[in-house]
Amino acid sequence: MSKARVMVVDDESILRMDLKEMLAEAGYEVVAEANNGELAIEMAALHHPELIIMDVKMPRMNGIKASRIIEKTFKIPVVLLTAYSQNETIEEAKKAGISGYLVKPITEKQLIPAVEIALAQNQKVKRLLKDMKNLEQKIEDRKLIEKAKGIVMESLGINEDDAYQKLRTYCMNHRVIMKELAHYIIKHKSIDFSVKISS
Protein backbone atom coordinates (compact mmCIF):
# COMPACT_ATOMS: atom_id res chain seq x y z
CA MET A 1 0.00 0.00 0.00
CA SER A 2 1.39 3.39 -0.90
CA LYS A 3 1.75 5.90 1.89
CA ALA A 4 -0.39 8.98 2.20
CA ARG A 5 0.14 12.38 0.59
CA VAL A 6 0.90 14.91 3.30
CA MET A 7 1.17 18.70 3.51
CA VAL A 8 3.49 20.43 5.95
CA VAL A 9 2.66 23.90 7.32
CA ASP A 10 5.00 25.86 9.57
CA ASP A 11 6.37 29.38 9.41
CA GLU A 12 9.88 28.15 10.18
CA SER A 13 11.51 26.76 7.09
CA ILE A 14 13.99 24.68 9.08
CA LEU A 15 11.14 22.96 10.88
CA ARG A 16 9.37 22.29 7.60
CA MET A 17 12.54 20.74 6.28
CA ASP A 18 12.86 18.53 9.37
CA LEU A 19 9.26 17.40 9.09
CA LYS A 20 9.59 16.71 5.38
CA GLU A 21 12.64 14.62 6.02
CA MET A 22 10.98 12.58 8.79
CA LEU A 23 7.90 12.00 6.66
CA ALA A 24 9.88 11.07 3.57
CA GLU A 25 11.94 8.63 5.58
CA ALA A 26 8.76 6.97 6.81
CA GLY A 27 7.61 6.66 3.19
CA TYR A 28 5.12 9.52 3.06
CA GLU A 29 4.89 11.82 0.10
CA VAL A 30 5.01 15.52 0.97
CA VAL A 31 2.94 17.08 -1.78
CA ALA A 32 2.80 20.67 -0.57
CA GLU A 33 4.02 23.06 2.06
CA ALA A 34 3.02 26.46 3.39
CA ASN A 35 4.32 29.01 5.89
CA ASN A 36 1.01 30.47 7.06
CA GLY A 37 -2.63 29.50 7.54
CA GLU A 38 -3.95 31.39 4.53
CA LEU A 39 -1.53 29.75 2.17
CA ALA A 40 -2.29 26.39 3.83
CA ILE A 41 -5.95 26.72 2.82
CA GLU A 42 -4.98 27.60 -0.76
CA MET A 43 -2.57 24.69 -0.94
CA ALA A 44 -5.13 22.30 0.52
CA ALA A 45 -7.57 23.32 -2.21
CA LEU A 46 -4.91 22.88 -4.86
CA HIS A 47 -3.24 19.63 -3.79
CA HIS A 48 -5.87 17.81 -1.73
CA PRO A 49 -3.42 16.17 0.68
CA GLU A 50 -4.72 13.28 2.75
CA LEU A 51 -3.30 14.78 5.92
CA ILE A 52 -1.93 18.14 7.05
CA ILE A 53 0.66 18.74 9.72
CA MET A 54 0.21 22.30 10.89
CA ASP A 55 1.93 24.67 13.26
CA VAL A 56 -0.35 26.74 15.53
CA LYS A 57 1.56 30.01 15.78
CA MET A 58 2.02 31.50 12.33
CA PRO A 59 1.69 34.94 10.73
CA ARG A 60 -1.38 35.99 8.64
CA MET A 61 -3.58 33.18 9.91
CA ASN A 62 -2.87 30.84 12.80
CA GLY A 63 -3.00 27.08 12.53
CA ILE A 64 -6.19 26.64 14.55
CA LYS A 65 -8.24 29.00 12.42
CA ALA A 66 -6.85 27.48 9.23
CA SER A 67 -7.58 23.97 10.55
CA ARG A 68 -11.15 24.89 11.30
CA ILE A 69 -11.68 26.15 7.75
CA ILE A 70 -9.87 23.18 6.21
CA GLU A 71 -11.85 20.68 8.29
CA LYS A 72 -15.14 22.31 7.29
CA THR A 73 -14.34 22.81 3.63
CA PHE A 74 -12.14 19.90 2.64
CA LYS A 75 -12.54 17.35 5.45
CA ILE A 76 -8.78 16.81 5.55
CA PRO A 77 -7.46 15.64 8.93
CA VAL A 78 -4.99 17.98 10.64
CA VAL A 79 -2.30 17.19 13.21
CA LEU A 80 -1.39 20.39 15.05
CA LEU A 81 2.08 21.34 16.20
CA THR A 82 2.51 23.73 19.03
CA ALA A 83 5.29 25.16 21.12
CA TYR A 84 3.18 25.24 24.23
CA SER A 85 0.73 22.80 25.71
CA GLN A 86 -1.61 25.34 27.23
CA ASN A 87 -5.08 24.17 27.97
CA GLU A 88 -6.81 26.88 25.93
CA THR A 89 -4.95 25.81 22.83
CA ILE A 90 -6.03 22.21 23.33
CA GLU A 91 -9.63 23.30 23.89
CA GLU A 92 -9.55 25.43 20.74
CA ALA A 93 -7.98 22.58 18.82
CA LYS A 94 -10.72 20.20 19.89
CA LYS A 95 -13.34 22.64 18.65
CA ALA A 96 -11.56 22.91 15.31
CA GLY A 97 -11.89 19.14 14.80
CA ILE A 98 -8.19 18.40 15.07
CA SER A 99 -7.06 14.80 14.57
CA GLY A 100 -3.91 15.02 16.65
CA TYR A 101 -1.77 17.34 18.67
CA LEU A 102 2.00 17.36 19.11
CA VAL A 103 4.17 19.57 21.28
CA LYS A 104 7.46 20.83 19.84
CA PRO A 105 10.23 19.80 19.55
CA ILE A 106 8.84 17.13 17.23
CA THR A 107 10.65 13.83 17.03
CA GLU A 108 10.14 11.10 14.47
CA LYS A 109 9.05 8.83 17.30
CA GLN A 110 6.11 11.12 18.06
CA LEU A 111 5.34 12.29 14.57
CA ILE A 112 4.91 9.05 12.66
CA PRO A 113 2.51 7.33 15.09
CA ALA A 114 0.44 10.54 15.30
CA VAL A 115 0.28 10.67 11.49
CA GLU A 116 -0.71 7.03 11.25
CA ILE A 117 -3.41 7.29 13.90
CA ALA A 118 -4.87 10.43 12.31
CA LEU A 119 -4.99 8.73 8.91
CA ALA A 120 -6.53 5.54 10.31
CA GLN A 121 -9.17 7.50 12.21
CA ASN A 122 -10.03 9.45 9.13
CA GLN A 123 -10.46 6.23 7.16
CA LYS A 124 -12.75 4.92 9.87
CA VAL A 125 -14.86 8.06 9.88
CA LYS A 126 -15.12 7.93 6.09
CA ARG A 127 -16.20 4.28 6.22
CA LEU A 128 -18.79 5.01 8.88
CA LEU A 129 -20.19 7.91 6.87
CA LYS A 130 -20.41 5.70 3.82
CA ASP A 131 -22.16 2.94 5.78
CA MET A 132 -24.58 5.47 7.18
CA LYS A 133 -25.38 6.82 3.73
CA ASN A 134 -25.95 3.29 2.43
CA LEU A 135 -28.22 2.54 5.32
CA GLU A 136 -30.22 5.72 4.80
CA GLN A 137 -30.56 4.86 1.13
CA LYS A 138 -31.75 1.36 1.99
CA ILE A 139 -34.37 2.74 4.37
CA GLU A 140 -35.55 5.17 1.70
CA ASP A 141 -35.76 2.38 -0.88
CA ARG A 142 -37.67 0.22 1.56
CA LYS A 143 -40.18 3.01 2.18
CA LEU A 144 -40.72 3.46 -1.56
CA ILE A 145 -41.24 -0.24 -2.08
CA GLU A 146 -43.70 -0.43 0.82
CA LYS A 147 -45.67 2.44 -0.64
CA ALA A 148 -45.75 0.89 -4.12
CA LYS A 149 -46.80 -2.41 -2.61
CA GLY A 150 -49.70 -0.66 -0.88
CA ILE A 151 -50.85 0.79 -4.18
CA VAL A 152 -50.74 -2.64 -5.85
CA MET A 153 -52.62 -4.25 -2.95
CA GLU A 154 -55.35 -1.70 -3.17
CA SER A 155 -55.70 -1.52 -6.92
CA LEU A 156 -55.73 -5.31 -7.38
CA GLY A 157 -57.45 -6.18 -4.12
CA ILE A 158 -54.70 -8.64 -3.13
CA ASN A 159 -52.81 -9.26 0.10
CA GLU A 160 -49.32 -8.07 0.98
CA ASP A 161 -47.48 -11.27 0.11
CA ASP A 162 -49.15 -11.54 -3.26
CA ALA A 163 -48.47 -7.91 -4.04
CA TYR A 164 -44.81 -8.30 -3.16
CA GLN A 165 -44.60 -11.49 -5.20
CA LYS A 166 -46.11 -9.67 -8.18
CA LEU A 167 -43.54 -6.90 -7.89
CA ARG A 168 -40.69 -9.37 -7.63
CA THR A 169 -41.83 -11.42 -10.58
CA TYR A 170 -42.28 -8.31 -12.65
CA CYS A 171 -38.77 -7.13 -11.80
CA MET A 172 -37.26 -10.49 -12.75
CA ASN A 173 -39.19 -10.85 -15.97
CA HIS A 174 -38.55 -7.33 -17.17
CA ARG A 175 -35.11 -6.88 -15.68
CA VAL A 176 -36.18 -3.83 -13.72
CA ILE A 177 -34.85 -3.01 -10.27
CA MET A 178 -37.43 -2.91 -7.51
CA LYS A 179 -36.75 0.72 -6.64
CA GLU A 180 -37.38 1.82 -10.23
CA LEU A 181 -40.62 -0.10 -10.37
CA ALA A 182 -41.70 1.39 -7.05
CA HIS A 183 -40.99 4.89 -8.38
CA TYR A 184 -43.08 4.18 -11.45
CA ILE A 185 -46.01 2.81 -9.48
CA ILE A 186 -46.01 5.73 -7.06
CA LYS A 187 -45.79 8.23 -9.90
CA HIS A 188 -48.59 6.66 -11.94
CA LYS A 189 -50.61 5.49 -8.94
CA SER A 190 -51.00 2.12 -10.68
CA ILE A 191 -49.30 -0.33 -13.01
CA ASP A 192 -50.26 -2.63 -15.83
CA PHE A 193 -48.23 -5.74 -15.04
CA SER A 194 -48.40 -6.95 -18.63
CA VAL A 195 -46.50 -3.98 -20.03
CA LYS A 196 -42.85 -3.09 -19.58
CA ILE A 197 -42.47 0.25 -17.81
CA SER A 198 -40.45 3.10 -19.18
CA SER A 199 -39.62 5.99 -16.90
Q: Which is nearer to Mg ion, 82 or 99 (CB)?
A: 82
Give the footprint of Mg ion on residues 10-29 (CB under 5 A).
11
Q: What is the DSSP string of the chain?
A: -PPPEEEEE-S-HHHHHHHHHHHHHTT-EEEEEESSHHHHHHHHHHH--SEEEEESS-SSS-HHHHHHHHHHHH---EEEEES---HHHHHHHHHTT-SEEEESSP-HHHHHHHHHHHHHHHHHHHHHHHHHHHHHHHHHHHHHHHHHHHHHHHHHT--HHHHHHHHHHHHHHHT--HHHHHHHHHHHS---TTS----
Q: Which is nearer to Mg ion, 1 or 14 (CB)?
A: 14
Q: Which is nearer to Mg ion, 5 or 57 (CB)?
A: 57
Which range touches Mg ion (CB under 5 A), out of 4-12, 30-38, 114-122, 177-185? 4-12
Q: Which is nearer to Mg ion, 23 or 56 (CB)?
A: 56
Letters for 55-84 (x = contact with Mg ion by CB under 5 A, - = none) are x-x---------------------------
- Can you give the binding site for Mg ion, defined by CB under 5 A? 11, 55, 57
